[in-house]
Amino acid sequence: MIRKTVFTMMALAACNMATAQIEVRTEAQVTAASGDHNPLWLNANKYGLSSLDKTNGYVRAGAFRSLDNDSAKAWKWGAGLDVAVAGGFTSTLVVQQAYGELRWKKWQLTVGSKEQPMAHKNALLSTGSQTFGINARPVPQVRLDLDYWTIPYTRGWLAFRGYGSYGMTTDDSWQKDFTHQQNRYTEHTLFHTKAAFVRIGPKNITFELGLEMACQFGGRTLALNQNTPVIDHPHDLSSFVHALTASGSDETDAGYNNSEGNHIGSWVAKLSIDKPTWNLGLYVDQMFEDNSMMVHIAHNGWGEGETAYQHVKSRYFVYDFKDGLLGAELKLKTFPWLNDIVMEYLHTKYQGGPVYHDVTVGMGEHITGRDNYYNHNLFTGWQHWGQVMGNPLFLSPLYNEDGILEVKDNRFVALHMGLGGELTKELSYRLLTTWQKGYGTYYNLYPNPRENVSLLAEATYRFADTSLLKGWHVKGALGLDHGKLLGNNVGFQVTVGKVIVNREK
């Protein structure tokens, strides 16, 4: 149903694009590297249009009709089709984006695959978001957005926005090939996202607090083990409700209260201070897999004997606030040569602690640690086409050489800095430096922690509108990894592209 709707909207959009203002983008990219694989920052945070292969490249073309074309109208529509032919990628033909969208006032409906931006973070300089990052290919979905709506009678001090979606992942055939059908993989996995944000404050000083949540459900899991080679997950209306409300249970839960599917989410917050010459943003992103990191408090007053599975005491277990991403971004409005500075600290070692124990008759304690971020016992974790859908410092399954679809390093600490600026009106740059110390997972600790340093130096030249090469840009990037986590890798990447805008008459 979703695919039919996408194709219908795209067909209508294609017919209308002939008479509408469209932007045509073409691009070619070549990457060459030495070492174990392509360096981290030549691969990560490119919406999945990237590769770990040491030699890779693509030719890409897209046509887009922006909602802004109808800025004076009550109803607005937009569409996009973005396709690449690649070498050294997980697939040769990549339909990166294919969507249609309709907007009325502050409501927007998007159907199809579209690259969605992160909340609160700089796409070029940040390591990325914990839940909804820009590291993996977009998932086809039906998504409804409400842009920031000012709540009446608050004098503009309080506003709300949110969104929700349902879709289906597209990497079934790749999972089958990657695992050689010997390890766990999934087919026809359904996908759900939702988020809500509140903004408080005047225009120059604002505070935003948001909750982002997602779920993988439905479909089927294959190659679990010899006794249970296949599990067909429910995909009826109740499953869609369970994904929305984080309720229900999986077939393997054995009677314990749980939630159907693979749930993940983040608490996100940002304080923004805007001045005439600078802007400062302080943000936090704390991920969770269950209640231990979502609410940090568990009602643990269980009884004994016949009341072993009943709350009989007012006793609670409190989880620490150790994990999360802390970041700061400083924009300098009068210094174009260094106009953006990002610094981030990530800690994911805690995960609710090293103990997981469900309530039993002999021991009435319920401790939900060992959260195993981005992994799941039935689904192939928070990944799409081998790339994690959150922060790329979690070691994506694409790095695994044993055909196992899981994140094998999700307990780590990291420090990151990103710098950006414009040396001239045509020439811009960015620099990324990341130090990371990985510990593996609670279920498979490294004998010794593995450290790594990843660097990126990138420069982009955009030809002036007055030149013969108007609309063209050339980008060169040098990436480097050094350490035992990602190996020792050096790579160079060249991108050449052009943007053409055809205006309505």
Cβ–Cβ < 8 Å for 500, 471: yes
pTM to 2 decimal places: 0.92
Three-class SS of 126-183: CCCCCCCCCCCCCCCEEEEEEEEEECCCCCCCEEEEEEEEEEECCCHHHHHHHHCCCC
- pLDDT over 60 (residue 6): no
The per-residue pLDDT of the chain, averaged, comes to: 91
Confidence of residue 256 (pLDDT cuts 50, 70, 90): low
pLDDT in tens, 350-380: 999 888 777 777 666 777 889 999 999 899 9
317 against 116, higher pLDDT:
116
pLDDT at 257: 64
- Pairing between β-strand 185-187 and β-strand 220-222 as defined by DSSP bridges: antiparallel
- Distance (Å, whole) CA 35 – CA 32: 10
Query: DSSP strand E in 358-443: where?
Result: 367-368, 383-384, 387-388, 412-422, 427-441
Residue ranges with strand state E in 337-410: 340-347, 356-357, 367-368, 383-384, 387-388
The pLDDT of residue 7 is: 44
More confident residue, 19 or 72: 72
d(CA 432, CA 409): 21
Q: SS3 of 45, please?
A: coil
Residue 495 phi/psi, 5-degree rounding, is -130, 130
Mean pLDDT to the nearest integer, 6-10: 44
Which pLDDT value is given to residue 359?
Answer: 73
Q: Percent of the chain having pLDDT more than 90?
A: 78
d(CA 247, CA 255): 13
Closest by CA position to 284, among listed 195, 238, 345, 228: 345
Q: Percent of the chain, pLDDT > 70? A: 94
Going by their DSSP bridges, the two strands 141-150 and 158-168 should be labelled as: antiparallel
pLDDT for the residue 199: 97
Cα separation, 77 vs 68, whole angstroms: 9
Contact present, 89 and 46 (Cβ < 8 Å):
no
H-helix or E-strand spanning residue 10? helix 2-17
Output the pLDDT for position 274: 96
pLDDT digits (tens, 9 = 90+) for 471-500: 999 999 999 999 999 999 999 999 999 999
Residue 222 in contact with residue 192, Cβ under 8 Å? no
Q: What is the mean pLDDT of residues 311-339?
A: 92
- What does the pLDDT read at residue 471? 92
Tabulate helix, strand, coil % of the chain (nearest 5). 10, 45, 40
Q: CB 304: neighbour CB atoms within 10 A?
A: 12
Higher pLDDT, 214 or 17: 214
pLDDT above 90 for 461: yes
Say which residues have a Cβ less than 8 Å from residue 88's Cβ, sequence separation at least 6: 31, 51, 53, 55, 56, 57
The C-alpha R_g of the chain, in whole angstroms, comes to: 24
**SS3 category, 247:** coil
Residue 159 CA to residue 321 CA, distance in Å, equals 28
pLDDT at 116 over 50: yes
- DSSP tag of 51: -
Structure token pair of residue 28: 């070619």
Q: Which domains does the chain have, with CATH numbers?
A: 2-502 (2.40.160.130)
| Other Cβ atoms closer than 10 A to 57 | 20
Mean pLDDT, residues 238-242: 94
Task: Indicate if the pLDDT at residue 311 is higher than 90.
Answer: no
Measuring CA to CA, how many Å separate 383 from each of 57, 207, 376, 392? 22, 31, 11, 10
Higher-pLDDT residue of 285 and 252 is: 285
**Single-letter residue type at 428:** S
Read off the pLDDT of residues 133-179 as tens digits, 9 standing for 90 and up: 999 999 999 999 999 999 999 988 999 999 999 999 999 999 999 99
Nearest Cα to Cα of residue 365 among 311, 300, 292, 306: 300
Residue 316: pLDDT band with limits 50, 70, 90: confident
Apex 268 CA angle, 219 and 127, nearest 5: 80
3-state SS assignment for residue 379: coil
Greater confidence (296 vs 123) lies with: 123
CA distance 469 to 465: 8
Cβ 430 vs Cβ 125: under 8 Å: yes
- Structure confidence by residue, pLDDT tens digits, 78-88: 999 999 999 99
CA nearest 418: which of 328, 285, 325?
328
Q: Do residues 480 and 458 make contact, with C-beta atoms less than 8 angstroms apart?
A: no
Single out the residue of 215, 293, 193, 192 nearest to residue 261, CA to CA.
215
Confidence of residue 17 (pLDDT cuts 50, 70, 90): very low
